[in-house]
Amino acid sequence: MDHMLYLSMTGTQHIMLAQQNNSHNLANANTVGFKADLDAFRSLPVYGPGHPTRAYVENSQYGYDFSGGGLMHTGRDLDVAIADQGWIAVQVDDGSEAYTRRGDLRVDQTGLLRNGAGDLVLGSGGPISIPPHETLVVGRDGTVSILPLGQSAATLAAVDRIRLVAPALEALNKGDDGLFRLPPGQLAQPDASVTLFGGALESSNVNTVDALVQMIELARAFESQVKLMEVTERNDEASASVMGIS
C-alpha cells in the first residue's frame, strides 16, 4: 500500500510543478518578447532496499522555446523588434548584464534609455543616456540618433548604438525575471548581423490554446492521482478490517 501511495504522492507533486510552469507561460501570453519555458515528465526508478521494481514520474525543465513571436506593428518610434535571431543587452538593478527581446523602449526622467520592464538598455559604453531632444530615432543597426532641441532636421546626431548580441542559444539560462544570461563571467559581444524593425514589437511566443489545453489535461491527471490515493486508503482500511477479523 505504501508503495502505491508514494507513487501517487510524487505524481501529484510533479503535476503541480508542471501546472505552475504552464500557468507562468499563460500569464505571460501578452508580455512583449517573452519566451516560453519547456518541461516534460520522465520516469525514474525508485531506488531502495532490493531491486528498483517501481518507477515514479518527475517533471523537469529541459529548455526554452526560442521561436519568434508574432510581429505587432505599433508605429511608435521607440518600439523595436529584432528582425531574426539576436538579443538586446540590458542592465538590471543589481548591475549585471542580461539579454531580452523586449523592445518597448522609453526615456526615463533622468535621460536613460529603458525598456518596458525598466531595464537599462546598454550601448557601446554602458547604459545609453539621451540628451534633451526634439526627435529620437532608432536605426536598423541599433544606432540611436536625436534631433537636438532648436536644431534643423539636417543636424540629426548619433548618440550611441544599442548593443545587439547573438550568443549561442544553448549557453543561455533564463532567470526568474524572464531575462536570459550567460554563465558567470561571460558577456556576449556585439554582433553586426542583428538588425531591428522600427515601429513594431515582438509578441510572446506562448500559444494560449495549447497552454489552456495542457492546463485541462494536467488538472485531469492530478485528479487521477488523487483517486489512486483514495483507492489506497480504502485498500488499507479493508486490509486492516480483514486482519482484525482473523
pLDDT of 7 > 90? The answer is no
Taking the alpha carbons of 169, 83, 80, 112 in that order, is the dihedral positive or negative? positive
The most confident of 33-42, 145-154, 189-198, by mean pLDDT: 189-198
Number of H helices, E strands in the chain: 2, 17
Give the pLDDT band (50/70/90) at residue 35.
very high
pLDDT of 246 > 60? The answer is no
Secondary structure element (H or E) that encloses residue 37, with its range: strand 37-45
What is d(CA 175, CA 170) in angstroms, rounded to the nearest whole number?
15
> What percentage of the chain carries pLDDT values higher than 70?
84
pLDDT attached to residue 243: 67
Q: Give the 3-state secondary structure of residue 16.
A: helix
Task: Return the number of other C-beta atoms located less than 10 Å from residue 89's C-beta.
Answer: 23
Residue 88 near residue 115 (C-beta atoms within 8 A): yes
Residue 86 near residue 191 (C-beta atoms within 8 A): yes
How far does the chain reach from its first CA to its final CA, in angstroms?
Answer: 20
Which residue has cell 523602449?
A: 105
Show me where the domains of the chain are located.
2-66+206-245, 71-202
| Average predicted confidence (pLDDT) for the chain | 87
Q: What is the mean pLDDT of residues 38-65?
A: 71
Beta bridge partners of 160: 144
Rg (CA), the chain: 26
In this predicted model, what pLDDT tens digit does every residue of 109-148 receive, in sequence order?
999 999 999 999 999 999 999 998 888 999 999 999 998 8
Which residue has cell 548580441?
A: 165
Answer with the residue of higher pLDDT: 35 or 17. 35
Which residue from 91, 135, 116 is spatially nearest to 201, judged by alpha carbons?
A: 116
According to DSSP, residue 210 is labeled: H
Angle at 126 between CA 122 and CA 132, to 5 degrees: 80
In this predicted model, what pLDDT tens digit does every residue of 229-240 receive, in sequence order?
888 777 766 666
**2-27 vs 208-245: helix crossing angle, rounded to 10:** 160
Residue 182 near residue 167 (C-beta atoms within 8 A): yes
Give the pLDDT band (50/70/90) at residue 8.
confident
In this predicted model, what pLDDT tens digit does every residue of 168-198 receive, in sequence order?
999 999 998 999 999 998 999 999 999 999 9
Secondary structure element (H or E) that encloses residue 19, with its range: helix 2-27
Query: What's the whole-model pTM score?
Result: 0.81
pLDDT attached to residue 15: 86
